Amino acid sequence: MKKYTMETIVGIFVTLGLICIGYMTVKLGNVHIFGDDSYQLIAKFTTASGLKIGNPVNILGIQVGRVEHISMDQANQKAVVHITIKNGIKVYDDAIAAIKTEGLIGDKYMSIDPGGSGTILGPSGVITDTQAAVDIVELVSKYAFGEIKNK
């Protein structure tokens, strides 16, 4: 009798441990099992240099989404960035999306000025007013080799 009680207790702990491991895997892996509480927007840039899938999307300095997919529009010669934004966050059609850098040589992220004087962008809405990332290395090299003139 005592043998079965010990095996039952061990079985319960093993089951709870596996459930905890599964939960942490889903949470840390950003996997959504029961649906997603976000919607997708598209931003078209002249260049998406340094931006990667998974980079954060910030509005007013607060992370509200992430970069999901980056592709190229051959016809218009644009980089197309698909992002997800949390539901409840309003982005208008006059929004401005910019690729920025955290610190001097940090990771890239997308910053969105949500606008406010137009209509609200729905799922698969396109942000057309964009600013590409500033290339620090290119600016330093231009300054170092005298391509920038002082007025």
- pLDDT tens-digit profile of 58-89? 999 899 999 999 999 889 899 999 999 998 88
The Cβ of residue 28 has, within 10 Å, a number of other Cβ atoms equal to 8
Per-residue pLDDT, 107 = 83
CATH number of 38-134: 2.40.30
The model carries a pTM of: 0.69
Q: What CA–CA distance (Å, rounded) separates 15 from 37?
A: 29
- When pLDDT is cut at 50, 70 and 90, the band that residue 132 belongs to is confident
Which one-letter DSSP state was computed for residue 145?
T
Residue with tokens 């997708």: 40
Tokens of 113: 């000025």
Q: Give the domain ranges of the chain.
A: 1-34, 38-134
End-to-end CA distance of the chain: 92
In the predicted model, what is the mean pLDDT of residues 140-144? 74
